[in-house]
Amino acid sequence: MDLRDRHVIVTGAARGIGAALSKAFHAAGARVVMADRDGLARAHDPLAGAVEVVADVSTEAGNMHLIDTARRAFGPVDLFFANAGVGYGGDPMTADEVWDDAFAVNFHAHRWAARLLLPEWLERGEGYFCSTASAAGLLAQIGSAPYSVTKHAAVAFAEWLSITYGARGIKVSCLCPQGVNTDMLNPRDEPDGPQAGALGRGDGGDVVRAAGAVLEPDEVAAVVLEAIEAERFLILPHPEVADYVRHKANDPDRWLSGMRKLQQRILGL
C-alpha cells in the first residue's frame, strides 16, 4: 500500500509504538487519526492535520465512536491499526477483571473494529487491517498468562481475517515484536496501580530484556512502514523471533523445556 493521502487510524497512539506509527504514517503522507483512551495532548508533539480522538477501544461503543469520528473527519478508512494493548502479568488465579480487560483491549477491540469496517471494505474491494500482537502471541510470555493468551488470540484473529477475506481485497498485517522501550516495559504507575504485575515490572520485564535487544518505538515503526508498503503479513522487528517459532514448531517438547529453564534462570526458581 502506498500511504500517500490514505486515511489511517492508530489506536493506543498517545505514546510508545502507537505514537511512533502515527508519526511514520504522517510522514509518509497519510491522513492520520490518533486515538487513545487516556487522551493525547500531553504525550507527544502535535502532527499537523492529524485528528486526535479520546476513545476507549475496550468497548464496542468506543470503537464505534472512534471510527464514526474518523469517517466524519477524513471519509472512508483505508487502514486501521489496532495497536492499543495492556500488558498485565498474572496466572489463572488473577482477578477476572484483569483477564476481562486484557481480552477487551488486546483482542475484542480488534474484533469490534473489524465488525465495523469489513462491510465497507468488502463493498469497496479493498481495506487494510493491522494489529499489534507480540512475540508472546507466537511464543509465550513467562509470568504473564493474560498477556500470552490474549496476544495469541490477536495473532489467530489476524490470520483468520487474512485467510477469509484476503482474496476479496482485504490486506492484513500482524506486528509481533519482543522488547520495545515503551511504558509497557517501563511502567510509570505506582506498584499497587492497575498495571501491577505488568510485563515491565519485576520478573516479566527481566524475561523480556533477557530475550534480546530492546528496540526504540521509532525503529519498530520503520519496520512496520516497510512491511505495509510490501503488504507483508507477519512483521518481526526482532528477526530472531522467526527462528524461535521454527524451533517451537520443530520440537515443541524441547522448546517448552528451554522455556522452563529460562524461567528458572530469570526467576531464580
Q: Which positions are catalytic?
A: 147
Quick one: which H or E segment has residue 58? none
User: What are the start-end ranges of the E strands in 22-73?
Assistant: 31-36, 51-54
The DSSP bridge pattern shows strands 79-82 and 7-11 to be: parallel
Q: How far from each other are the two terminal CA atoms of the chain, in whole angstroms?
A: 48
Evaluate the CA torsion angle 77, 71, 184, 108 in order and state its sign: negative
How many Å apart are CA 156 and CA 150, to the nearest integer? 10
* 257 grid coordinates: 523445556
